Amino acid sequence: MNRIDTRELAAWLDQTLQPGRFRDYCPNGLQVEGKASIGHIIAGVTASEALLRAAIDRGADAVLVHHGWFWKNEDPRVRGPKRTRLALALGHDLNVFGYHLPLDAHPQLGNNAQLAQVLGLTPDADAAGMPRTCGPDGLVWLGSAPGIATFGELAARVGQRLDRAPQAIGDPMRPVRRVAWCTGGAQGMLADAVDAGADAYITGEISEPTVHLARETGVGFLGAGHHATERYGVKALGQAIADQFNIRVDFVDIDNPV
C-alpha cells in the first residue's frame, strides 16, 4: 500500500480547499495530529465516535470529515463525549482532518457542487466559468433545474434522489425557473436567495422563522436534511485524494436523520 507524509497531505488539502478565504466557526485542516504517514483514510460527514471506531476497526491512519471539532463558543472542557472522541483519536494515533465551509464552497469537490450533480441542477456560471453565488462568502449557489417545471416536481426529485422526503414549504404548482441552494444548516440564507430572484431554495435544515419568510415571499423552501445534503462533498474529496496519492480512502456513511 502506498503511503503519504501527513504534512504533505495537509498541505495539499489546504492548497486545494483554501480555508483562509472563509470566516468559519471552527479550525479547518489537520485538527488532531496522529501518525506521521498515511496509507488508509476513512471519510465521513462527521467525526463522531461511531466514525472513529469504524476507522479503528478498519486499521485506518486518518479520518477526513466535513464536521470536525473545536467549534466556536463550545465548552472547551475535555470531558464526556469530547473526552471519548479525543481519547480514541490519540490512543490510536489517528489523524483527524476537518473542512467545513471550504468544503461546502469548492467549485468541483464541494457539497454544493456535488449536490447539484446528484439533483440534476445546472449552476449558473460567470465569465470565468465559476459558479454564480450569493450570500456570505458566496456560499449560496444559483442555477436552474432542467426538466423541472414546478416546485412540486422539484420537491419530488429531491426526495427521490436523496432517498428521503424533504420538508416542503410553498405552492407545489409554483413555476420554478431559478433555483438557489446551499447544503447543511443554511436556512438563514433564504433571504439571500429571495434577493437573488430564486423561485425555490434548497438547503438541509429548517427553522421556525424560515416557514414565515417562505410563505410571505412565495419562494418555495426545501429542507432536505443536513446530513442528506452533505454526504457528497467529503466523498468526492476522498476520491480526489485516492486518485492524487494512490492511497486507500473509504467513505463510511453513519446515518443521521437530521
- 40 annotated among ligand-binding-site residues: no
According to DSSP, residue 150 is labeled B
- 226 annotated among ligand-binding-site residues: yes
Reduced to 3 states, what is the DSSP secondary structure of residue 203? Answer: strand
Could you tell me which residues are beta bridge partners of residue 43?
A: 64, 251
- 230 annotated among ligand-binding-site residues: yes
Tell me the three-class secondary structure of 165-187, residue by residue: CCEEECCCCCECCCEEECCCCCH
- Angle between helical axes of 232-245 and 6-17 (0-180°, round to 10): 130
Non-local CB neighbours of 102 within 8 Å, separated by 6+ positions: 17, 18, 19, 21, 22, 24, 28, 110
Non-local CB neighbours of 172 within 8 Å, separated by 6+ positions: 150, 151, 152, 155
Distances (CA, A) of 250 to 30, 41, 160, 212, 235: 18, 6, 25, 41, 8
- 208 annotated among ligand-binding-site residues: no
The burial of 46, by beta-carbon neighbours within 10 Å (0-12 exposed, 13-18 middle, 19 or more buried), is given as buried
- 250 annotated among ligand-binding-site residues: no
Say if residues 140 and 121 touch (Cβ distance below 8 Å).
Answer: no
Give the span between the Cα atoms of 131 and 66, in whole angstroms. Answer: 21
Q: Which residues are annotated as a binding site for a divalent metal cation?
A: 66-67, 104, 226, 230
Q: Which residues are annotated as a binding site?
A: 66-67, 104, 226, 230
